[in-house]
Amino acid sequence: MPPPQPIDTDTRLRLMLAGERLIGELGIEGVSLRQVNTAAGQKNKSAAHYHFGTKLGLIEAIYNYRMERVNTRREKMLDNNTGTLRDLITAWVYPMVEEMNEADGGTHYIRFIAKVSTHADNDVRSLMDSKHASGLHRIAAGLRELLVDLPATIFSMRFGLVMIEVIHILAEHERLMELSPNHEMSNALYVSNLVDTLVATLEASLSTETQRELTNNKNQTA
C-alpha cells in the first residue's frame, strides 16, 4: 500500500478563505466547489473536492478553522474575568471581532457565520452547536446565574435574541468596514456600544404587557 499523501495546507487554506468569502457574499446555495476552485486560483478543477469532499465538508472546515480560534480566545477571557454581565458579553463578542480583523482574510468571517447560522439545512445549522462551543456554553450558564430572576422563557428568548444580534450586527459592521475602511466611527467604539446594547437587552425590565403575555402563555400551556 502506498504511503498517504501529505496534505497541502497552503492550498487547503486558500480554498477555505475563498469559500468563506464567496459564501459570505453569495450564500450557501449561490456557491459551487468549482467557483471556490476558481476564486482560490486552482488550476486543478477537483482541488476543493479532493480536500473537502462536498460543499458541506468545506463549510465544516471553514467553521472549525475560525471557531476553534474564537473559542480558545473566549475561554481565556472567561478564565481571567470577574464574571460580571458585561464581562460575559465581552467574552462573547470580542473574540469574534478579533477573528474578524485577522489578516488572513477574516473580513468575510462573520458574514460566512451569518449565512451558515440561518440556513434551513439542519446539517449546516448543527455546526453552530457541534464543536468549539464550550466558551459559549460557559457564557450561557454564567448569564443564567446572574439573571436568575428572569423567567426561564424570557431568558431563553433574550439569549436567542442576543445571539442573533451579535452575528448579524457584526456581519453588517464587517460589510460596512470593508466598503469604508476609514469610516469616522472607530471599530472600538462600535463594538463597545454593541456590548452596552446587548447588556441592556438582557437586563431590560419586563413591561406590564410582557408580564401579561407571559401569564397567558403559562395558562395556555398548563
Asked whether residue 148 is assigned to any structural domain, the reply reads yes
Asked whether residue 30 is assigned to any structural domain, the reply reads no
Asked whether residue 47 is assigned to any structural domain, the reply reads no
- Residue 3 has what pLDDT? 44
Number of domains in the chain: 1
- Residue 90 has what pLDDT? 97
- Residue 1 has what pLDDT? 46
Q: pLDDT tens per residue, the chain (222 residues)?
A: 444 444 567 999 999 999 999 999 999 999 999 999 999 999 888 999 999 999 999 999 999 999 999 999 999 999 998 889 999 999 999 999 999 887 666 679 999 999 988 887 766 667 666 789 999 999 999 999 999 999 999 999 999 999 999 999 999 988 888 887 666 567 889 899 999 999 999 999 999 999 999 998 888 776
Asked whether residue 120 is assigned to any structural domain, the reply reads yes
Asked whether residue 15 is assigned to any structural domain, the reply reads no
140 and 155 in contact (C-beta within 8 Å)? no
Asked whether residue 7 is assigned to any structural domain, the reply reads no
- Residue 182 has what pLDDT? 67
Q: Which triple of cell numbers denotes residue 101?
A: 480583523
Report helix, strand or coil for 41.
coil
Question: What is the dihedral sign for C-alpha 143, 146, 87, 83?
Answer: negative
Asked whether residue 8 is assigned to any structural domain, the reply reads no
The domain of 126 spans 66-221
- Residue 128 has what pLDDT? 62
DSSP per position, 97-156: HHHHT-TTTGGGHHHHHHHHHT-S-HHHHTHHHHSS-HHHHHHHHHHHHHTTTS-HHHHH
Residue closest to 204 by CA, chosen among 153, 147, 156: 147
CATH number (domain holding residue 92):
1.10.357.10
Other beta carbons less than 10 A from residue 210's beta carbon: 14
Asked whether residue 39 is assigned to any structural domain, the reply reads no
